[in-house]
């Protein structure tokens, strides 16, 4: 065998978009549309094309795509805390929407430092991406300026309370916090604390809502806002409740940055012999699965994390596929799930 013959034959035998189109009995454009923008193809035809793609083992030629469409087919996701429980549903939503397309996802976990996020965003932009999904130091002028100059659709996710640089999908964290705080007031709690970790943009918006409602009720005490500049955890919740009760033994409830903190608060209440919800009320945020299985079950604000991830990718696909942008801001709403941790009479 002549050296290199086998390698050349393997290259020549690579399944192409035209091969898939011929087998499926459609045009190459229809195959591309089924992969990149499946809503534009009938469900029956889409299923046929996807079955042929799987049978033939078709893999999109990303280099050819980049030459033809002026982007690499990459969607970059830049976010802090990608390994946290709260982001798992978000990632599932992203992956489920990308799966039937010919796009691919790359993740970068950047901390809250603006320079780190700028570095990751510049790296993705150097790859001629099809789109960017960003959750981080929203409102930082340098990041905003970079995102405005991005050569692709950009979706800022999780919070929609400010004008985005391009598009945004999520919830209004300030309104969600207002709802949670009013719930605690309605249940008869009056010395309500806010407990959390690092003050990212979303946490600050929740603090604003918490502050506004208690200020209106004449019950806001800034000394009851306790946080430590670190990642949130169950252990941090235990520590914060211990500190709160040592300094303010009359504190009777806590609105927590997330469910990890809330679970730690619950554990520390149990260790101290505090009755929940009678002596102390607890409200979390995100409504992770375990919140409903704790005892007592933890009241929490349900955030549609899966839907946020799914919609973010869908917005990029629609914007890059048709050239016409979908709605600039998509508010997916939230839900206060009232459970045993606040179930006392007001």
pLDDT at position 219, please? 98
Lowest mean pLDDT among 67-71, 79-83, 114-118, 330-334: 67-71
pTM given for the model: 0.80
In sequence order, the β-bridge partners of residue 131 are 75
245 neighbors 266 (Cβ within 8 angstroms): no
Confidence of residue 266 (pLDDT cuts 50, 70, 90): very high
Query: Which structure tokens are listed for 265?
Result: 């608060």
**Mean pLDDT of the chain, nearest integer:** 88
Q: What percent of the chain has pLDDT over 70?
A: 88
Between 343 and 28, residue with greater pLDDT: 343
pLDDT tens digit sequence for 229-243: 888 999 999 999 999
pLDDT tens digit sequence for 5-54: 444 334 446 788 888 899 999 998 888 788 766 777 888 888 898 888 88
Among 175, 177, 176, 157, residue whose Cα is nearest residue 167 = 157
């Amino acid at each position: 065998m002549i050296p290199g013959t086998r390698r050349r034959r393997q290259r020549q035998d690579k399944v192409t978009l035209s091969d898939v189109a011929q087998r499926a009995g459609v045009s190459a454009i229809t195959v591309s549309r089924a992969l990149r923008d499946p809503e534009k193809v009938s469900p029956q035809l889409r299923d046929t094309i996807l079955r042929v793609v799987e049978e033939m083992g078709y893999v999109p030629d990303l280099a050819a795509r980049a030459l033809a469409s002026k982007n690499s087919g990459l969607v970059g996701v830049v976010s802090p805390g990608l390994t946290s429980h709260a982001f798992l549903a978000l990632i599932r939503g992203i992956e489920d929407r990308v799966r039937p397309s010919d796009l691919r996802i790359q993740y970068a976990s950047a901390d809250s430092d603006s320079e780190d996020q700028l570095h990751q965003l510049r790296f993705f932009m150097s790859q001629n991406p099809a789109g960017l999904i960003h959750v981080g130091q929203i409102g930082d002028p340098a990041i905003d300026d970079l995102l405005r100059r991005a050569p692709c659709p950009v979706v800022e996710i999780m919070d929609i309370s400010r004008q985005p640089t391009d598009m945004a999908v999520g919830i209004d964290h300030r309104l969600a916090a207002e709802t949670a705080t009013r719930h605690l007031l309605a249940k008869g709690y009056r010395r309500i604390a806010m407990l959390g970790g690092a003050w990212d943009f979303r946490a600050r918006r929740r603090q604003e809502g918490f502050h506004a409602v208690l200020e209106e009720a004449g019950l806001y005490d800034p000394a009851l806002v306790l946080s430590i500049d670190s990642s949130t955890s169950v252990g941090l919740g235990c520590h914060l409740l211990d500190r709160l009760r040592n300094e303010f033994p009359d504190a009777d409830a806590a609105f927590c940055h997330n469910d990890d903190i809330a679970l730690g608060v619950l554990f520390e209440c149990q260790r101290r012999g505090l009755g929940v919800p009678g002596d102390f009320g607890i409200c979390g945020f995100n409504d992770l699965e375990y919140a409903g299985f704790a005892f007592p079950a933890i009241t929490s604000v349900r955030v549609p994390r899966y839907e946020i991830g799914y919609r973010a990718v869908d917005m990029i696909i629609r914007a890059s596929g048709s050239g016409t942008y979908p709605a600039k801001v998509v508010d997916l709403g939230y839900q206060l799930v009232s459970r045993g941790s606040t179930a006392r009479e007001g």
